[in-house]
Amino acid sequence: MKLTVWTYEGPPHVGAMRVATGMKDLHFVLHAPQGDTYADLLFTMIERRSHRPPVTFTTFQAQDLGSDTAALFKHAAQDAHDRFQPQAMIVGSSCTAELIQDDPGGLADTMGLPVPVIALELPSYSRKENFGADETFFQITRCLAEPIERTARISCNLLGPTGLGFRHRDDVTEIAALLEEMGVDINVVAPMGASPTDIARLGAAHFNVLLYPETGETAARWLERTHSQPYTKTVPIGVGATREFIAEVQELSGSTVMPDDSRLRLPWWSSSVDSTYLTGKRVFVFGDATHVRAAARMAQEELGFEVVGLGCYNREFARDIRAFAREMGLEATITDDYLEVEAAIEALQPELILGTQMERHIGKRLNIPCAVISAPVHVQDFPARYSPQMGFEGANVIFDTWIHPLVMGLEEHLLAMFREDFEFHDAAGPSHHGHSVPAGTVEGRPTPDPALSAATAAAGKEASMVDAPALPAEGNVIWLADAERELKKIPFFVRGKARRNTELFAAERGMHQISVDTLYEAKAHYAR
Amino acid sequence: MTEQRPLPQSGCRDTPILRERGQREVFCGLTGIIWLHRKMQDAFFLVVGSRTCAHLLQSAAGVMIFAEPRFGTAILEEKDLAGMADAHEELDREVTRLLSRRPDIRQLFLVGSCPSEVIKLDLSRAAERLSQQFAPHVRVLNFSGSGIETTFTQGEDACLASMVPGLPETEARNFVVVGALPDVVEDQALSLLAAMGIEHVSCLPARRAGDDPAVGPNTVFALTQPFLGDTAGALERRGATRIVAPFPFGEEGTTAWIAAVAETFGIAQHVFDDVTAAPRARARKAIAAQAQELNGKRVFFFPDSQLEVPLARFLTRECGMEAVEIGTPYLHKDLCGPDLALIAEGPVLSEGQDVDLQLDRCRANRPDLTVCGLGLANPLEAEGLSTKWAIELVFTPVHFYEQAGDLAGLFSRPLRRRAALRMGATSGPIEGPSAAQGLRPAAAGEVSA
């Protein structure tokens, strides 16, 4: 058992739902207890879908547990088929049904339904949502993709986009247009938007574009093996990665066309003098492996940040991300425990966090600006406007998204410097962080001054559920009043770093008090 | 009492009930934790379940997850399923860790889930064992919030019922208000009762462990929520007597509820009138302001919280609506009898659900307002039906006089909104890239730059 408050990923059957909901004319019959239908609202609310997900839950109850859960399943599957007339069905068990050991695949086989019925194995107690999506898409592909003649013109499939995917909708639009510009036809986009009939035509493409390894890699590998379709290895997020991706596509397709990049603004925006202050800003990157890898590269090469820490929550990609981090001289944080991520961020005191919805909240607590780069995300990250992450427009979107909280930070600082106005006094905190209830609020405790949160957060931890991070100076060094006041004159967005560095400096020298002099000696010591 | 609305001839008390079995689009009882933990300030709710349970709580709790909430899930892993003895050791270890980090916790609820019920993990024994271990500082209790046994608000019932056997014994004549109400609502209820001179009033659940009500043969209690059947049964087993009344929604429901209590305690009519006259007038005025949009409109309830019957009573009698179908996950006829009697004959009463069949009925009826869960709300809106999502009725203060206008407002707002929006299409976009393909490249760059 493991005590959990927040999970980065849902159970594997939610991954299967993401595939089913993304597709058309496919129906999913999920053997699950009453209550598991909660997952519907992820699609109808967060993604704002206007239709119910094509999922029938058997919703068994305690009184059904005797012998007839199997009959209940068959009844539900028959009803679903008769009502929705899908081209194919998938069947599987949620975590509770896995325990009662009805066999949805076997049961469906005995029913003689007139459409293909694909059985899913979703090990709920060892795997998670992304595995569920990847496995489901793979099984659908394996069952339905037929040997078929290649299209006359050069074409490819786009693999991996699903329901509830972070910016999948616009990434597909962006990359499809880029490929068409290069003279490459899109054969099938799958699973999102594809019907079982479309899956049957996957083999007609000359190669595959793997947009999201998390949800499409197993299918891509299988298609490579069985249908001799090579697939692209670079995920086109960022200017450099997009250019590499284009080169890869040119190699696979023989196309010599360079897509028009006249609307790409990131390189100039990033070179303009207004961006100089971004140089060496310390960033921490966390999310799913694909987005983390892309973001870390962009941060370093395209925005001139310094990546001080990175990691991912999906263990399937742990080895890749560890190796990638080592190349950058870092140790990757591979964990699905947000308290570990929080501890890592707290110890590093970055100036910007690129992460998920959870890191956004950690950023709020620690008073560090944050931008969202990866699922899991909330409703505001399924925007109405066009906002891809991939391709040239994606790079523009990312520049704006990441810089926005920093510009706001500078703005806040300037306001505070020039006006001792009540609205801008030190304790008011940065308004865009939503500090009407200040950061670091802990159940039933007074709130630490946001300005001091970096140092006092550890004290607040006795009420939360994590051990204090191993800061060397913790509790041994006292800030003298003058030094404390001087520290408050430092802009809030670098104050945490200044405090940490000073305490480290003092601890290394065996000092027990920090005076104004210590503060400035430390500043000189760490200055570059 | 003054100004009674005419009673329907026979009401819905004897209406035959449509009982359906099929897919149920409802929450499980674990969801109750989300509001219960706010009410019981020194309690921690530890679900023993799967990643699905944790994911459900996370989805239902929304942003609350990020405020160091007092609930969590001990997620079962493969090794826990292999052998049973190990599971108890694992649980003890997790609980010990939790309590050492949260010394402020005085009550710990081990909450059963579908997985823990199916593998028959004996959480009541675990609760006993852990209670002994952590006594007297922490009391460890157990209830089930599993989907196989409980629907949504029934989780609160199971929780409160689990507390009843441990409540202190008393011989005194006291009054217990049963049901977790928002603090502001609870304060209003207590001050109305105090103003009438009713003494020794306490609440179940109490805000803190030390303030638990005592129970005995002279205790009387009244429910503020219709889903508390097991809790009522447990209190009656300890000798307490239930006051029969409609539930305190709207002006009429609140007045009837307080009147039943006043009668039990022999409060004089003029005292009752003095105390209730002003808030009754306020409530009526506030409802009237909201009821304009609702008058004559037809409402359809999908099953969700068991609040459907008393809310249908409020909407039909005080807001002039017509009920088409009143769906409820469980119909406790004994508890809802007074409310059923006040609803005019006509609506279909349904218990349980086959969601596809019920959707067919809803579409055929084309009600003006459909009360349903979030999994159905947007899809129905896209079909041109106005909806009110039901969960809000459990999280928002809606009971008693001062909230009566707000309660009507929750139902009138979607209708007002539909009337206000004049953009033509109401159906949602077709999802997926095929619909979006035309957007780029020309327009897109301009739009987002």
Amino acid at B238: R
Chain A CB within 8 Å of residue B86 CB: no
pLDDT at A296: 98
Average pLDDT over residues B313-335: 97
Chain B environment of A169 (Cβ under 8 Å): 431-433, 436
Instruction: Confirm whether A261 is a catalytic residue.
Output: no
Chain B environment of A165 (Cβ under 8 Å): none
Average pLDDT over residues A191-220: 98
pLDDT at B121: 93
Chain A environment of B90 (Cβ under 8 Å): 1
The two tokens of residue A23 are 């597709």
Chain B environment of A71 (Cβ under 8 Å): none
B148:A60 CB<8 A: yes
SS3 letters for A50-116?
A: CCCCCEEECCECHHHCCCCHHHHHHHHHHHHHHHHCCCEEEEEECHHHHHHCCCHHHHHHCCCCCCC
Residue pLDDT, tens place only, A25-52: 999 999 999 999 999 999 999 999 999 9
Interface of B with A in 137-166 (CB under 8 A): 146-149, 151
pLDDT at A426: 53
B115:A10 CB<8 A: no
A464:B68 CB<8 A: yes
A265:B377 CB<8 A: no
Chain B environment of A378 (Cβ under 8 Å): 62-63
Among the partner residues B54, B104, B436, nearest to A7 by beta-carbon distance: B54
Among the partner residues B41, B59, B449, nearest to A41 by beta-carbon distance: B59
B81:A99 CB<8 A: yes
A2:B119 CB<8 A: no
Among the partner residues A42, A125, A387, nearest to B81 by beta-carbon distance: A125
- Does B112 score more than 50 pLDDT? yes
Q: How much of chain A exceeds pLDDT 90, in percent? A: 72
Interface of B with A in 96-135 (CB under 8 A): 97-98, 101-104, 114-115, 117-119
Chain B CB within 8 Å of residue A384 CB: no
pLDDT at B296: 97
Q: Measuring CA to CA, which residue among A198, A183, A304 is closest to residue A249?
A: A183
Give the contacts of A466 (CB within 8 A, at least 6 positions apart). A339, A342, A343, B101
Chain A CB within 8 Å of residue B68 CB: yes
Average pLDDT over residues A109-131: 96
Radius of gyration over every alpha carbon of chain B, rounded to an integer in angstroms = 24
pLDDT at A461: 36
Give the contacts of B123 (CB within 8 A, at least 6 positions apart). B48, B110, B112, B116, B142, B144
| Arithmetic mean of pLDDT over chain A | 88
Among the partner residues A4, A49, A361, nearest to B73 by beta-carbon distance: A4
Q: Which residue of B has its CA nearest to A58?
A: B23
Chain A CB within 8 Å of residue B84 CB: no
Interface of A with B in 469-508 (CB under 8 A): none
- Does A521 score more than 70 pLDDT? yes
Residue pLDDT, tens place only, B230-262: 999 999 999 999 999 999 999 999 999 999 999
Q: Which residue of A has its CA nearest to B105?
A: A463
Q: Catalytic: which of A260, A274, A482, A517?
A: A274
Between the two ends of chain A, the Cα-to-Cα distance in Å is 47
pTM of this prediction? Answer: 0.88
Among the partner residues B68, B147, B428, nearest to A34 by beta-carbon distance: B147
SS3 letters for A4-47?
A: ECCCCCCCHHHHHHHHHHHCCCEEEEEECECCHHHHHHHHHHHC
Residue pLDDT, tens place only, A77-108: 999 999 999 999 999 999 999 999 899 999 99
B440:A386 CB<8 A: yes
Average pLDDT over residues A414-419: 60
Chain A CB within 8 Å of residue B59 CB: yes
Average pLDDT over residues A55-84: 92
- pLDDT band at A444, cuts 50/70/90? very low
Which of residues A339 and A229 earns the better pLDDT score?
Answer: A229
Q: B283, B254 in Cβ contact below 8 A? A: yes
Interface of A with B in 445-474 (CB under 8 A): 462-466
B431:A163 CB<8 A: yes
pLDDT at B15: 93
Chain A CB within 8 Å of residue B331 CB: no
Amino acid at A335: T
- pLDDT band at B370, cuts 50/70/90? very high
Nearest-CA distance from B129 to chain A in Å?
18
CA dist., res. A345 & res. A286, Å (int): 10
CA A359-A365-A370 angle, 5° bins: 40
CA dist., res. A311 & res. A340, Å (int): 11
pLDDT at A335: 96
CA dist., res. B34 & res. B30, Å (int): 8
Nearest-CA distance from B204 to chain A in Å?
21
SS3 letters for A359-410?
A: HHHHHHHHCCCEEECCCCCCHHHCCCCCCCCEHHHHHHHHHHHHHHHHHHHH
Interface of B with A in 422-441 (CB under 8 A): 427-429, 431-434, 436-437, 439-441
Among the partner residues B50, B69, B439, nearest to A173 by beta-carbon distance: B439
Q: Which residue of B has its CA nearest to A42?
A: B59
B101:A51 CB<8 A: no
Chain A environment of B29 (Cβ under 8 Å): 35
pLDDT at A520: 86
B448:A393 CB<8 A: yes
pLDDT at A453: 39
Chain A CB within 8 Å of residue B402 CB: no
A10:B431 CB<8 A: no
CA dist., res. B403 & res. B318, Å (int): 14
pLDDT at A466: 35
Alpha-carbon torsion (B191, B197, B199, B204), positive or negative: negative
Interface of A with B in 288-347 (CB under 8 A): none
Chain B CB within 8 Å of residue A78 CB: no
B74:A1 CB<8 A: yes
Residue pLDDT, tens place only, A485-502: 888 877 777 788 888 889
- The DSSP bridge partners found for residue B169 are B215
- The DSSP bridge partners found for residue B402 are none
**A–B interface: beta-carbon pairs under 8 A:** 266
Chain A CB within 8 Å of residue B56 CB: yes
Lowest mean pLDDT among A284-288, A441-445, B72-76, B159-163: A441-445
Q: How many CB atoms lie within 10 A of CB A419?
A: 11
Radius of gyration over every alpha carbon of chain A, rounded to an integer in angstroms = 26
pLDDT at A307: 98
Residue A86: cis peptide before it, omega within 30 degrees of 0:
no
CA dist., res. B380 & res. B361, Å (int): 13
Nearest-CA distance from B9 to chain A in Å?
37
- Does B329 score more than 60 pLDDT? yes
Q: How much of chain A exceeds pLDDT 70, in percent? A: 86
- Residue to mutate among A56, A72, A82, A96, with most B CBs inside 10 A, is A96
Lowest mean pLDDT among A355-369, A398-412, A452-466, B189-203: A452-466
Chain A environment of B378 (Cβ under 8 Å): 44-45, 48-50
CA dist., res. A350 & res. B354, Å (int): 52
